[in-house]
Structure 1
Amino acid sequence: MSTTASSFRVSVFRVGWYGGTCARLVWRSTSVRGRARPAARVVSTTRTVRADWPRTLTFGTDGWSEGAYLIRLETDNGHQRYVPLIVRSARGAGRTVLLHAPATWQAYNRWGGYSLYNGASGAYATRSLVVSFDRPYDGSGAEKFLTYEWAAVVLAERLGIPLAYTTGIDVHDDAAVLRGAAAVICLGHDEYWTPRQRRHVTEARDAGSNIAFLGANTCFRRVRLEAGGTGQGRSVVCYKSSYRDDPCYPSRPDQVTTDFRLAPGADPESSLTGVLYEGYPVDAPYVVHAADHWLYEGTGVRHGEDFAHLVGVEYDRVTPGPHVPAMLEIIAHSPLVSAGARSHSDSAYYTVPSGAGVFAAGTMRWVEALAAKTGLLGRDHGMDARTRAFVTRTTENLLRGFSGGPAARHRPAPRPNAREVYGTGG
């Protein structure tokens, strides 16, 4: 902790339903002396920012429930900052596993002036090639968690289905939490995956665990986790378009950190997600295509009905071809224009021989829509209460259906229609 305030306190809240309060205080510190720490250090070779500060405070989590937590740091003069924390589950058998995305949180984190997108000047060319967890998060400290994950956690806990909690980094390290899981839920913005994490999630699908992608742009960037600072896996490596400078190029093509779909080691994400990321930025209505699909049960929607602003700010679409699962049904097909080009965003559902069902929302605003017009997130992109009700009921159907084990055994089969929707030319 670094602060110019004379003192601060730490409060820890567990995220959940809790009768509509959405969080519960589980621990609070006494007043802690404040101290300003040195400026961040930048590793010149990779433009990696690290705050090599001494530890200020330690507390234990013994007896805490598995789950998602927010640590609130509050100074004596009223300034606040959050730190997201996942108390992970050791096992997920028979449960719905919520998969949080700290690698993506860190990729966008500009604390200290650098992220995987921009350098201190704001230029892409001077971006970090490696980012470290040994630094605070910028902004509120929990922007990605609050925007793309929090509302889904609250909804899942409200339903009372058996839940387990983990992160992509933990799944990379050990797939045990996925063994026997009823479902794995990837939340609203989960862009950065290691090949090992992807393999573990795919193996879970092929063993019968349902998978849901409640966002867009999922599993798009291939990364490595490396040692750095305070321990193993504390650095996220992603060279992107500079992949020829990656130490793994060209000897280990499947580990080179660029987009999964690109050479070397091209492996498009659609073989898992069913959809491909296509564009940014976009703002468009979500248009229902298969109104009688079981995921829409109880919503009352009709074919062609639309929900304004639900498609954004990034989107995915089905691209018919060899990397698309055979038993895939497009259930929403939303016309849009992005960067001057006409295209579509798709929600898709498919099944595999293990019986597992896989759903992809195809829009990054899906989880945000769960809080539209509530004022809880401070922005809703113009989405209204009708959209919130539709997305909430659809997500409830998804979570309840997926919590019952392989969806193909107790829910209607998909009706493959990608060729019909897009034509033989894709």
Structure 2
Amino acid sequence: MIACYTDRYTARPGETVMLHASASHGPCTLRIDRVGRERHTVWTLADIAVGDHPTPPDADRAGCRWPVATGIEIGADWASGYYDVQLTDARGEVAHHFVCVKPAVDAPRARLAIVLTTNTYLAYNWWGGANAYSNVTALMTGQASFDDAMGQAIGVLSTQRPFVPLIVSAPDDIPRLVNMRKRAFQEQPWAADPEWMRDHAFSPYDGSAGFLNKWEHRFVEWAETAGYTLDYFTDYDLEVEEVLSGYAGVLFVGHSEYWGIGERAQVERYVDAGGRIAILSGNTCFWRVRFEDDGATMINHKWRGLEAEPEGSAAPITHLWSLPEIGEPEAALTGLSFLFGGYHRLGLCAARGQGGYTIYNDRHWALEGTDLFYGDVIGDALPLIGYESDGCRFDFGDDGLPRAIPQLGVPANLEIIGVAPCAFGEEADRGYAPVIPPERLAVCARVTYGDDSEASQLRMLRGHAVIASFRRGTGEVFNTGTTEWAHGLAAGDPFIDRITRNVLDRFSA
């Protein structure tokens, strides 16, 4: 076995990050690469003495407590970006971790910043046993059923442990979390690429987070090729440091599902003061989390948030941002919510869905120069809509265009560009084994519609992905409403390329 982790996910040039490791076959060699459009090696170190250390039974919650193997000094010439940390043992086995290098304090800033969705990485990481969703080890080894394993999810997650390989170092051919074709007549529903998943012992959580060969990586490859320079931060940076002031625009890409309290507050201050955020993501800002132990622990009780804290605790609740007890629905910032969207081309969720957006507001500024008109569909061949999507309720005006219904934080001034049907989960008793059963549908119905009646729960299952923008304060928000936008850029789709350039050019001006 070989595995490693760093004492923190982020650092600036000149700072030192500590690498903790365990290896059965030392000594080890360390290599660090900056990963973007290309991969550049910036540092190597050989003959590192690494001991074989046991993994504590509570490593998923309390960390591994392994000793420091070596320090990594971030070079003064290391550009801001994602850095792949690779530790290789004497037999050639490799363990991966990462460090996000922030821009130097005294360095010229880029016009745009990207926030890596490290809270989401952490929520899905099951190294040591469990994650925020399930006791994944018990599930994957057959020791627990899916329902029992979900009941053993943990709400306290340590940052002081490695990541499972398919999250931190996914291969280039990892499948997208979307069914690439429509379900055939009477075909059994499926999700993603079952054969690849079986061959790679892929857990239900491995594809949902991580940088390498996933959403953020694909976006960065496109952005660097297109000539955009980015400064990089992590979710936790926004939690503890005022970093956004001075940037013309800030980007959230892929699957930015978990937001801390300080992060949410900073982004809202930034937008209200004139900042612009581009959300090229789905399921954005859905769950509220908090940090303890100087960032060593993320608290993320999810559905158990109301009862999980010790009696008399003054700690902020971790649950849905839209929960009435929290009262800060994400749509007030993002414009959209997963509660009004859901899944597309996954299981029975829009299994034969169009896979792209139907354009309505063809005069929106984001569509300038795209050659798109009312009724056109974009991204259907990719598909652009899949996995998780955010939306809103809407009706139609006299002009035939959809108008947002201001509910659960959705702003009345939301400008809807396009829509596509989604499903929040699969309806029961439809003749097929469930692949995407809705999670806590009664809770979601109460949050969204004020009651958990059968009618409200059924209403929850029918939603839409929405691409939209709106102004908040003196700032502006653009939201693609889908996790898969970066894959549209990677595929070279000219419509998605031009829309993204329009957004980034406007937001970096």
Task: Bin the TM-score by the shorter chain.
Answer: 0.7 to 0.9
CA change 1:259–1:95 in 2 (3 A) is same
The aligned runs of 1:269-284 (5 Å cut-off) are 269-278=330-339, 280-283=342-345, 284=353
CA change 1:40–1:26 in 2 (3 A) is same
Q: Which residue of 2 aligns with 1:325?
A: 411
The structural deviation recorded for 1:76 is 3.8
CA change 1:305–1:4 in 2 (3 A) is farther
CA deviations over 1:249-293 (Å, ceiling 9, x no partner): 77648x200110113222110000000113554224122332333
Aligned counterpart in structure 1 of residue 68 of structure 2, from 44, 48, 55: 55
Which residue identity is paired with 2:74?
T
Q: Which residue of 2 aligns with 1:334?
A: 420
Distance in 2 (CA, whole Å) between partners of 1:327 and 1:244 is 33
* Number of residue pairs aligned between Structure 1 and Structure 2: 376
The aligned runs of 1:183-262 (5 Å cut-off) are 183-227=249-293, 232-247=294-309, 252=314, 255-262=316-323
Q: RMSD value over aligned CA atoms? A: 2.4
8 Å CA contact 1:41, 1:49 repeated in 2: no
Identity over the aligned pairs, expressed in percent?
30
The structural deviation recorded for 1:16 is 3.0
Which stretch shows the higher mean deviation, 275-284 or 327-336?
Answer: 275-284
Residue 222 of structure 2 corresponds to residue 155 of structure 1: yes
8 Å CA contact 1:249, 1:256 repeated in 2: no
- Any idea what SS the aligned residue of 1:199 has? helix
Q: Which residue of 1 aligns with 2:138?
A: 121
- Any idea what SS the aligned residue of 1:137 has? coil
Distance in 1 (CA, whole Å) between partners of 2:95 and 2:367 is 38
Q: Which residue of 2 aligns with 1:419?
A: none
- Any idea what SS the aligned residue of 1:112 has? coil
Q: Which residue of 2 aligns with 1:409?
A: none
The structural deviation recorded for 1:130 is 0.5
8 Å CA contact 1:148, 1:367 repeated in 2: yes
Aligned counterpart in structure 1 of residue 500 of structure 2, from 381, 395, 398: 395
**Structure 2 gaps, min length 5:** 1-20, 140-148, 171-209, 346-352, 394-404, 428-460
8 Å CA contact 1:331, 1:347 repeated in 2: yes
Distance in 2 (CA, whole Å) between partners of 1:397 and 1:212 is 11
TM-score (norm 1): 0.81
Q: Which residue of 2 aligns with 1:361?
A: 480
The structural deviation recorded for 1:150 is 1.2
Which residue identity is paired with 1:193?
W
The aligned runs of 1:169-180 (5 Å cut-off) are 169-175=236-242, 177-180=243-246
Q: Which residue of 2 aligns with 1:65?
A: 79
CA change 1:293–1:142 in 2 (3 A) is farther
Residue 286 of structure 2 corresponds to residue 286 of structure 1: no
CA deviations over 1:354-402 (Å, ceiling 9, x no partner): 1x22111111111233324xxxxxxxxxxxx5xx333233222221221
The aligned runs of 1:3-82 (5 Å cut-off) are 3-17=23-37, 22-42=38-58, 48-63=61-76, 64-82=78-96
**Structure 1 gaps, min length 5:** 373-384, 405-426
Distance in 2 (CA, whole Å) between partners of 1:249 and 1:240 is 18
TM-score (norm 2): 0.69
Aligned counterpart in structure 2 of residue 101 of structure 1, from 102, 110, 117: 117
Distance in 1 (CA, whole Å) between partners of 2:412 and 2:476 is 13
Distance in 1 (CA, whole Å) between partners of 2:324 and 2:245 is 31
8 Å CA contact 1:244, 1:250 repeated in 2: no
Distance in 1 (CA, whole Å) between partners of 2:417 and 2:250 is 20
Which stretch shows the higher mean deviation, 197-206 or 392-401?
Answer: 392-401
Q: Which residue of 2 aligns with 1:304?
A: 375
8 Å CA contact 2:334, 2:479 repeated in 1: yes
Distance in 2 (CA, whole Å) between partners of 1:394 and 1:260 is 29
- Any idea what SS the aligned residue of 2:138 has? coil
Which stretch shows the higher mean deviation, 165-174 or 361-370?
Answer: 361-370
Distance in 1 (CA, whole Å) between partners of 2:360 and 2:104 is 39
Distance in 2 (CA, whole Å) between partners of 1:257 and 1:106 is 15
8 Å CA contact 2:113, 2:251 repeated in 1: yes
Residue 165 of structure 2 corresponds to residue 139 of structure 1: yes
- Any idea what SS the aligned residue of 2:162 has? coil
